[in-house]
Chain A
């Protein structure tokens, strides 16, 4: 990586006093190498109770049948596919951060990519559980794979978007997993090197024999770049294909050509919101404020604002096209979002996703941690309602009015959804206990370029324009984690 000195007017990506490579390692590995604190235990207990609820609710469903959910003859999908699309969408931020931002050399991604990728994998796991559990006969799920069989030439239906889904999701999951794990190798090797006993042996196996030689590093960089290249189209393809579950159908409200870009934007939108939700808490609990700084938070908020507005434009387009098409069924479907019995769901959707995120135009909001967190939750809720509105509100009143019906969730529906959140957090909390939540090796790269010491020295030597020094100091002050007095003498 570049070895030049960074300009003082660049906002620092890692803050804190006397940051050294060793300190980075110590800070990041603190939760991995020590007993978990109280906060972790509380979180883990709650999350694993949620996971148990999921096991219970899904077992109940498998035992009694899908009838234990609130679906009916008219509304064949509701909380299940809503949850599925929601989780797949959340999974998008990880790949975007790790692959696309890598290709665009957005170095600030280095501090957050690890957690975001882990989140991706866990979210895709949650989505995949929905794929199986929503089936009437989940034990026959293998029929969805193009396996050789004894039924003559009986293959899967390659015309069906659900089959595209199977390929899309499984490809996405495996590539994300490989990318994530490749990135983890040097960090696992660090843990191995610092550990002893069985602990060392486990991480030794997990590190795949990382030696840290120049050749290894070189290959590591190459592989990362290649995987980034492979992953980048996936960011677009996965949610495009998920959107085709709807777009290729005949349902008014689903049959919409704008769905692929609209869904991708929505996915990135919700993915970043979830990263924000998680990291704002994680950095506090694990004491990683120096690595996930206000700069990161604000950057992510900007992305949320942009994608949220893209989604807003898509919403408006949908309404315009419904009006312009002259199709009476489509017109009714979109009118029904507001005047029908599910008007409140549409209000949640448009309100949370478009109206609420507009406050992020204000820098004060973008750089306010509490507000960022609340807004990220609002976006998560809004995006859930987006899928609910698309699925349930479209289905419940389609072509033949005699079949119009309402959907009422049962406690099993709710439990499966809450449970899947429990599964997600259980996995995430386990992850931050056993693996470094921040990509140490990549953060260390930043240190070298950033050279906090160099900048301070330059200031001391008075080579710099005082206004630039002022700007630099201002940047430091806004970091909630850094004591300004540390820089007073600068």
Chain B
């Protein structure tokens, strides 16, 4: 090719203009503004397009690189040396004791997170109360005392010991008295420690008293039979139970144990053998036992004694003085019927009374002796140690202190400044005591006025033992290292009394080696290890002897009559007062526990407050509305309380719960929950009595009580189905509709369930026996603990936003002229609400096979599993709430706020410390998502996994859901519906089984069993 061809780029090059030549000299056509940049002028100059692109390029690149940095990492520290028994993700269970009940403590990675009843527990067979379930939260309570305190400053234990020892030594010389004031102690080792302390300091004495006292019964037994003990009651051996104000299912002595016993004669098994106990309750306010009674008669405190005299006379044919007709004819009839039935059931009858009056209890003893109850339904030989306090002892101590005789007082698990009726007298007396030591784990009302607080361990951090009833010894073992700088009270006492054994663990072991272990046939190290695994030993019970009553009752009757006259409230705006304990709060010791505060009262469904319960008649008479605040004045002590209309409340009376109105001891308490009703007690006849005459006056204020249920009648709907025992015996299908009274509902849709899990191994279903459920609410707290359910507080409950996954619906119906009245508009016409029947219905997600929630969710956040469960995928939920609207059972709960990260809800979820109680197997939920009962899907998965590892199918009973596990009444049965031999399948085959709202054909997975009342047709 020709090589003289010239290639040029652009005309400039071709023409070779001078500018081109000039420009071509440099590497870059345009000069680089290095000088400008260096001098700083470049920054002011106009940014050319290229610079802009460069800047953008760099900027984007830099930002991208910067974004590559790791997000902040929360480091979790692995075990350096992994403890042999801990596998992260696998729970360990330790046996321990809660208030005399053998329990199992579930721990995860060293943290106790859940209390379960020990299935072998002699008392309750695995059932636990709401309080026991909630007690694990107290372990992590940030309001606990974190170190020993003297005055207002924290100090070292050694300094504290030096101080206390010095003070005690001084006292030894001065000869002043030392008093250990405690609530009832039933731990043999603790009692031994105290005994040793008293040996060291002979001036010391142990004063035992209880906030809610049983001195009346103990003294009465002393008077009647020479045994100053609380007997062990056997409700399971009683065919006829008559209770005078004893709430033995809710709060009286040992309610969980009694529930288990009581239900034995009323559950499905008992009904199928055509046997059902009869329960007649005479009481002032509506108690949990009252709600379960077959016949419940409202009775004024002033008439209780007369009613007992009438009953005694009717049973024995004696003529005690004071017998007279009561104002209400229904009560007289009921007493006649009760007497007849008790007599017919001689040897299988039981009469109990809640009164703390010695005379009343002596009369009850006489009735029971006449009925041959001793040795059968009442066991005085294998007595209960659960309560052994003596009111007079405390009064005596206050007298000593007032006279300046007491040099030191040690408060062990006692808070008399709060729960003694005369606070002023007590504090005045205590101000004369130079050394006041409290072992409280919170700065409670008593600890606040003590010089020294030597904080005790939580029971889950403690060694110890317990002996609730004679022959039944349980062991406490720590499940976690002490969370705070606390020390077990017993250890403090050992150190202060210069005991050769300074470590309480050793002390307990020695004490058991000395004899208790042998009672269980165990010995040595091996025996001890066995004990730690089984949790208890049960010595052979002595034969309960029968006791004859031989005292003259005339004086007793006279005392009762005098009291009745005193109690009879006469005059305008005076009502007879009755004090009681609620299931949630009991005596108020656990008032700082938000789970318990938010647990609705089984009867009133009120949370976060106490109130004055009045009858409709009195409300009208006093011209009050529900929520109006009244002052209740008893002997000069007065408190202001909102009024609640309580059906079944005896006319002319009001009931107030104790356990509220604490003022010191934690954030929950100090937020102001209720009013303290302990000052309304009166000291009569040597005991603290729960009755009195109250003067009422309206303050003009009004508040809204935070109730989880505000409509109380079931409107005649088939949601609740009841039958009388007579009807049931004639036709076991009565009212269940299972015999064809309700037809099978045809579905429009292809039944996908037939092709799905009906053929798979598992179909998880549940059966709930309305006849077993007493409504105690333990399941609600168990569910809270298991599923990390948020606590929302009083205001949110008022807005009807409580988050409980399981609730207990409580309905009132009224019996007038042999007809059951359930509809609101008919109830409104009633002039009194005395003849009330109550039914409790646990309500939780029904896991419908045709779940209405599932079809409406736009994003498939709630779907059906192949095992019959209705799942919630929290991550997918956008929170339209359509599912909750479409749920006929209204069991879905929406996260209205960010309960775990919102400073307005700092009850437990949002606190870094209390978060340790959370179950790591269950996610906490963000705001804006729906949640509901999952049938403890984490437990199902764990059970399936375990079975898989062991290469076997899941056995019936392997998996227990939290509510079922804690239920003292065994009202809830969960299991595999595809296994015809499973307990749940058997329960669902019961003639009484019905499904709530089955007519909607949503095919719920939970079957309920008809409530049966042992009423004659006339009473029904």
Contacts and interface: CB of A to CB of B under 8 A. Distances in A.
A291 interface: no
B879 interface: yes
Contacts of B892: 73
Contact of A76 (B843, B859, B885, B888): B885
A137 B873 CA distance: 14
A160 B885 contact: no
Contact of A65 (B802, B856, B927): B927
A250 B927 contact: no
Given A73-B894, A76-B885, A77-B881, A160 B858 contact: yes
Contacts of A155: 860
19 contacts: A67-B796, A73-B801, A73-B892, A76-B885, A77-B881, A137-B877, A137-B928, A157-B858, A157-B860, A160-B856, A162-B880, A248-B855, A248-B856, A249-B856, A250-B852, A397-B711, A400-B996, A400-B997, A403-B890
A182 B898 CA distance: 47
B1001 to A, nearest CB: 10
- Most B CB contacts (10 A, CB to CB) among A134, A156, A157 go to A157
Interface residues on chain A, size class = 35 or more
Interface in B701-716: 709-711, 713-715
Interface in A387-438: 395, 397-406, 408
Interface string B800-832: 111000010111000000000000010000000
A328 interface: yes
B711 A160 contact: no
A399 B889 CA distance: 7
A226 interface: no
B894 A76 contact: yes
B710 A76 contact: no
A397 B717 CA distance: 13
Contact of A157 (B859, B896, B897): B859
A137 B711 contact: no
Contacts of A2: none
A402 B858 contact: no
Contacts of A328: 717
A398 B855 contact: no
Contacts of A66: 879, 881, 894, 896, 927-928
A76 B856 CA distance: 14
- Most B CB contacts (10 A, CB to CB) among A70, A134, A405 go to A405
A160 B928 contact: no
Nearest to A403: B890
A398 B879 contact: no
Interface in A219-255: 245, 248-251
Interface residues of B, number: 57
Nearest to B714: A401
B882 interface: yes
B801 A399 contact: no
Contacts of A154: 860, 876
Contact of A399 (B719, B811, B929): B719
B894 A136 contact: yes
A404 B800 CA distance: 10
Interface string A129-153: 0000011111011011000000000
B876 A76 contact: no
A64 B899 CA distance: 11
B886 interface: yes
A134 B710 contact: no
Interface string B973-1016: 00000000000000000000000110010100000000000000
Nearest to B713: A401
A141 B799 CA distance: 27
B881 A71 contact: yes
A404 B880 contact: no
B841 to A, nearest CB: 8
B893 interface: yes
A411 to B, nearest CB: 14
Q: Which 5 A-B pairs have the closest CB atoms?
A: A136-B879, A136-B928, A67-B896, A76-B881, A402-B809
Contacts of A168: none
Interface of A: 64-67, 70-74, 76-77, 134-138, 140-141, 143-144, 154-157, 159-163, 166, 245, 248-251, 328-329, 332, 339, 395, 397-406, 408
Given A65-B896, A162-B880, A70 B799 contact: yes
B857 interface: yes
Given A73-B800, A73-B894, A401-B713, A251 B856 contact: no
A401 B811 contact: yes
Given A65-B895, A65-B896, A136-B877, A162 B882 contact: yes
A395 to B, nearest CB: 6
A251 B713 CA distance: 20
B93 interface: no
A403 B708 CA distance: 8
Contact of B886 (A74, A251, A406): A251
A137 B800 contact: no
Nearest to B858: A162
A71 B880 CA distance: 12
Given A65-B898, A71-B896, A137-B878, A399 B856 contact: no
Nearest to B885: A76
Given A65-B897, A250-B1000, A404-B710, A144 B879 contact: no
Contacts of B711: 397, 401-402, 404
B878 A135 contact: yes
Given A65-B928, A160-B858, A329-B717, 10 more contacts: A66-B928, A72-B799, A136-B880, A137-B879, A159-B855, A161-B856, A162-B882, A251-B886, A401-B717, A408-B799
Given A134-B880, A136-B929, A398 B896 contact: no
A66 B895 CA distance: 8
B878 A140 contact: yes
A162 B929 CA distance: 17
B884 interface: yes
A403 B880 CA distance: 20
A413 to B, nearest CB: 12
- Most B CB contacts (10 A, CB to CB) among A135, A137, A398 go to A137
A166 B878 CA distance: 14
B573 to A, nearest CB: 31
Contact of A400 (B810, B888, B894, B929): B888
Contacts of A135: 878-880, 928
B201 interface: no
B926 interface: yes
Nearest to A62: B928
B719 A251 contact: no
Contact of B878 (A77, A136, A329, A399): A136
A161 B719 CA distance: 28
B882 to A, nearest CB: 6
- Most B CB contacts (10 A, CB to CB) among A154, A248, A403 go to A403
B843 A136 contact: no
A76 B878 CA distance: 14
Contacts of A134: 880-881
Nearest to A329: B717
Interface string B261-289: 00000000000000000000000000000
A160 B882 contact: yes
Interface in B930-949: 930
- Most A CB contacts (10 A, CB to CB) among B802, B857, B898 go to B857
Nearest to A142: B878
B898 A400 contact: no
Interface in B774-808: 796, 799-802, 807
Contact of A398 (B860, B890, B926): B890
A159 B853 CA distance: 11
Contacts of A141: 878
B926 A402 contact: no
Contacts of B857: 157, 160, 162
A73 B889 CA distance: 11
Contacts of A73: 800-802, 884, 890, 892-894
Given A66-B896, A137-B926, A400 B878 contact: no
